[in-house]
Structure 1
Amino acid sequence: MELPSSVARYVEAGLHGAENTKRGYAADLRSFQDYCEHHQLPYLPTEVTTVAGYISQMADRGMKLASIRRHVAAIAKLHQLAGKPSPTGHKPLHMVLDGIARVIDKQQRQAPAFTVMELKQAIQAIELTKPTGLRDRAVLLLGFAGAFRRSELVAINVEDVEITRQALVIHLRRSKTNQYGQEEDKAVFYSPNADFCPVRAVQEWIECLGRTSGPLFTRMNRGNKNKPAQPGTSRLTDQSVNDLVQRHLGPTYTAHSLRASFVTIAVEAGQSNKAIKNQTKQKTDAMIERYARLDDVKRFNAAQHLGL
């Protein structure tokens, strides 16, 4: 649905020259307009309760906090440019945003980190005679070794994968911390044990796909008793990756555990923050502290190394 000319004019005028911001705000405002029209609510000017309901719905759908804040900023900008009082500066809305932030942060912190042994046991239990098993092994090993967000995993295309004698390199064209399409690379290395090697796992999955472009990780077409399910053409979704992780590692873990486990195990192994950030693409050391699951008093404690 196109924005009304009045709305589009304000966005165009107020954001002239900022192409990425303009496109992002326009998309956000289209989404907000659809919400308002569906619930028969005014959107310019709109009410605090309308925006609160809108962002709560986004949070319930699992949208990232940064994306929710961007939507609020777009609504605020629209009202500013239209000369209308903005509902986004009201304290009740800030309270809703604070509550959403706490819930999202709690959900992220609750995603526990698995051990390397747990991951290996899960990989060993996967049936590799079927394409589904090859895909799931590749998702788990690449997701962990590359410290990938699930949104990054599902966005990878076959043509983004470069396999060399030294490593497998994923050329990321967009990520949570890279919104402008500047290419970032992640390197994943060979394992001495072929059973747990992320490079070989991805290579075998690509051979199973039988193509050189398009989505790397896809849903499976339905099989039957005579023929197992075969790779389809539709990408896995974020939720599919979460279901896959829980299917193989147990309901305690989530897709976020792939990334949290990488950080935790890397810290435990004595890797520097710089080396960890080079893979996770996090910008600050504080983010490493947030992701690392180092609260097991028996496993992570300086009292083990006092020399007594």
Structure 2
Amino acid sequence: MEKSAQLAVVVPTRNHALVELPPSVAKYVEAGLHGAENTKRGYAADLRSFQDFCEHHNLVHLPADVTTVAAYVSQLADRGLKLATIRRHVAAISKLHQLAGQPSPTNHEALSVVLDGVARVVGKRQRQAPAFTVAELKQAIRAMDITTPTGLRDRALLLLGFAGAFRRSELVALNVEDIELTRQALVIHLRRSKTNQYGYEEDKAVFYAPSADYCPVRAVQEWMECLDRTSGPLFTRMSRGNTQRPAQPGKARLSDQSVNDLVQLHLGPAYTAHSLRASFVTVAVEAGQSNKAIKNQTKQKTDAMIERYARLDDVKRFNAAQNLGL
């Protein structure tokens, strides 16, 4: 029997052994090794930074020694990078070695000790995105000029982002065709998210509010009427307006940074796009919602993540001492 002209696929495994697989599985190997597009782009930038560091210090970046990675991590920490960013750089180095079939220095116990130390030092100065209250959100909505398309868009984005516990990457990825209006709620069909890299369909439900002024369902409906189309990006950039005609919806999708800018524009510089999600969790916990109900909207996998997201550190508002029966 003639051998296939295609080459077999050689795959590095977790224990660094090389396994030869038939060429028919090549596309799945490629997807499994490289991961999501956003992850690939982020890793590419991180690896350029690591390679520049190694070249500057005359160090080998592949395969890298654990002392090299430890020195790089220390430099990132000294530059004031966030702990999550530093961990992403380490993950990129690990992926580089996995793709090359090389043992990864990131698995070394010595590096774990360094990372623990960085977490203690950097973690102390790291500030989480604060949560706003429902009253603050309503105040921001009242201040918007919803007679303009820009006001309609911003109101819809803030109310949907909060009520749906959305990440900003999820908000900007939404398309008009992902929105389904039912009698009970607005159902959003998520095609992919940070915790759903395999494209399983996930739904979020956003419900009508008693007041039309703050109703996320009505806000999204009015914005979609302004868009006047049945497909394409849900949240778009606006064209330049003038004194005769206000800015109109464009065709280009909003960026992640744009969502952050809009949150700060309307709610204040203390908040970020992540505050939309953190505020949902905090308000839901304060209202006595179960972890299961919260996770059904946030799509978080563990109760520990809810504890991490909830901003319940105000000792005057969240304290069992006020209900002791004295």
- Structure 2 CA distance for partners of 1:49 and 1:15, relative to 1, 3 Å: farther
> Which whole-Å deviations, capped at 9, do the CAs of 1:106-126 have from their partners, x for residues lacking one?
788521111111110000000
1:270 counterpart residue number: 288
Q: Pairwise mapping of residues 81-230 of structure 1 onto structure 2 (< 5 A)?
A: 81=101, 86-89=104-107, 94=112, 97-98=115-116, 110-230=128-248
Establish whether residue 246 from structure 1 lines up as the match of residue 257 from structure 2.
no
* Distance of 2:181 and 2:20 partners within structure 1: 42
Superposition deviation, residue 285 in structure 1: 0.9
CA contact (8 A) 2:36 2:197 kept: no
Superposition deviation, residue 235 in structure 1: 1.6
Secondary structure in 2 matching 1:294:
coil
* Distance of 1:134 and 1:36 partners within structure 2: 44
2:34 counterpart residue number: 23
* Distance of 2:194 and 2:295 partners within structure 1: 14
Secondary structure in 2 matching 1:110:
coil
2:99 counterpart residue number: 78
2:308 counterpart residue number: 290
How many residues are matched? 297
Superposition deviation, residue 231 in structure 1: 1.2
Superposition deviation, residue 300 in structure 1: 1.1
- Structure 2 CA distance for partners of 1:116 and 1:273, relative to 1, 3 Å: same
Aligned partner letter, 1:73: S
Q: Give me the TM-score of the superposition, normalised by structure 1.
A: 0.81
1:260 counterpart residue number: 278
Aligned partner letter, 2:306: I
Kindly report the root-mean-square deviation, in angstroms, between the aligned alpha carbons of the 2 structures. 3.5
CA contact (8 A) 1:65 1:100 kept: no
CA contact (8 A) 2:175 2:234 kept: yes
Structure 1: segments with no counterpart, 5+ residues = 1-7
CA contact (8 A) 1:25 1:74 kept: no
> Which whole-Å deviations, capped at 9, do the CAs of 1:234-286 have from their partners, x for residues lacking one?
22111111111111111111111111111111111111111111111111111
> Which whole-Å deviations, capped at 9, do the CAs of 1:9-29 have from their partners, x for residues lacking one?
777976955533223299477
- Structure 2 CA distance for partners of 1:283 and 1:152, relative to 1, 3 Å: same
Structure 2: segments with no counterpart, 5+ residues = 1-8
CA contact (8 A) 1:174 1:180 kept: yes
> Which whole-Å deviations, capped at 9, do the CAs of 1:148-185 have from their partners, x for residues lacking one?
11111111111111111110011111111111110110
CA contact (8 A) 1:109 1:291 kept: no
Q: Give me the TM-score of the superposition, normalised by structure 2.
A: 0.77
CA contact (8 A) 1:246 1:253 kept: yes
- Structure 2 CA distance for partners of 1:168 and 1:65, relative to 1, 3 Å: farther
> Which whole-Å deviations, capped at 9, do the CAs of 1:119-156 have from their partners, x for residues lacking one?
10000000111111111101110010001111111111
* Distance of 2:196 and 2:87 partners within structure 1: 13
* Distance of 2:52 and 2:10 partners within structure 1: 23
> Which whole-Å deviations, capped at 9, do the CAs of 1:187-234 have from their partners, x for residues lacking one?
000011000000010111111111111111111121222211111122
Secondary structure in 1 matching 2:277:
helix
Establish whether residue 234 from structure 1 lines up as the match of residue 255 from structure 2.
no
CA contact (8 A) 2:46 2:89 kept: no
1:4 counterpart residue number: none
- Structure 2 CA distance for partners of 1:260 and 1:37, relative to 1, 3 Å: closer
* Distance of 2:36 and 2:229 partners within structure 1: 36
CA contact (8 A) 2:76 2:86 kept: no
CA contact (8 A) 1:223 1:229 kept: yes
* Distance of 1:88 and 1:100 partners within structure 2: 15
The alignment-based identity, stated in percent, is 65
> Which whole-Å deviations, capped at 9, do the CAs of 1:22-78 have from their partners, x for residues lacking one?
23299477656766787894654456658937x959x95997677545423212213
